[in-house]
Amino acid sequence: MPTHPELNAHEARLLGVLFEKERTTPDQYPLSLHALTAGANQKSNRDPATDWSEAEVLVGLTGLIHKGLAGKVSIAGSRVDKYRQNARETLGVGDGRLALLSELLMRGPQTPGELRTRAGRMHEFPSTDAVLADLAAMAGAGLVRRTDAPPGSRVERWVQLLCPGLHPIPSGDQAATADARAPTSQPALSERVAGLEQRVQALERALQDLGAL
């Protein structure tokens, strides 16, 4: 399985934002440090919400550049440095798979249906099956993996692997443990309630006896 650079939380968010803005606001791309900071701290299509300074974003950008996932661009007539993503070349993936990866980096684990809707801002997917085909190929490349369906849902979710632990999710063992606890806790609660009811009834009888004296 191919080995890819491991990212920290800042680098992961910034890589996702760089590709998103390339696709959704091409007239403003490549991005200045100020624009990239605003994109990282954007309130929509982001999880978790952040409030990073330009200094923090610059540190993250430096990390991406060192890992070959971003680069500085010199534009004639511009007084500020601008930055672009290099994920296509470094990771060897096309726009559709980059759209899915960016969405997972910016928002965490999602179902194939959610990914088709949300990543559709960056790349059009003809069907959910097309999304699943891309996800399967990315899983083979070590970029994503499928997770078990969370409690109460029948649909599996997918998570990115460039920044493990960025969006923690319960493991299958944790979910199984939680499910195992649930049936045993209910009888224990019922027993406590029944005991309290018996004590209340005993107190009521005692009060009635006192009133009869």
Whole-model pTM: value is 0.79
**1 confidence band (pLDDT: 50, 70, 90):** low
Residues above pLDDT 90, as percent of the chain: 70
- Give the burial string for 176-209 (b: 16+ CB within 10 Å, else e): eeeeeeeeeeeeeeeeeeeeeeeeeeeeeeeeee
pLDDT digits (tens, 9 = 90+) for 149-197: 878 778 899 999 999 999 987 555 444 434 444 443 444 455 555 555 6
Which among 171, 99, 84, 107 has a CA at the least distance from the CA of 138? 99
The reported pLDDT for the residue numbered 148 is 87
Please tell me the distance from the alpha carbon of residue 15 to that of residue 4, in angstroms, as a whole number: 14
pLDDT digits (tens, 9 = 90+) for 31-71: 999 999 999 999 999 999 999 999 999 999 999 999 999 99
pLDDT digits (tens, 9 = 90+) for 82-104: 999 999 999 999 999 999 999 99
Mean pLDDT value across the chain: 86
The reported pLDDT for the residue numbered 173 is 42
> Which of the two residues, 78 and 142, has the higher pLDDT score?
142
The reported pLDDT for the residue numbered 151 is 80
> Which of the two residues, 210 and 97, has the higher pLDDT score?
97
pLDDT digits (tens, 9 = 90+) for 118-144: 999 999 999 999 999 999 999 999 999
Would the pLDDT of 201 be above 90?
no
Average pLDDT over residues 2-21: 95
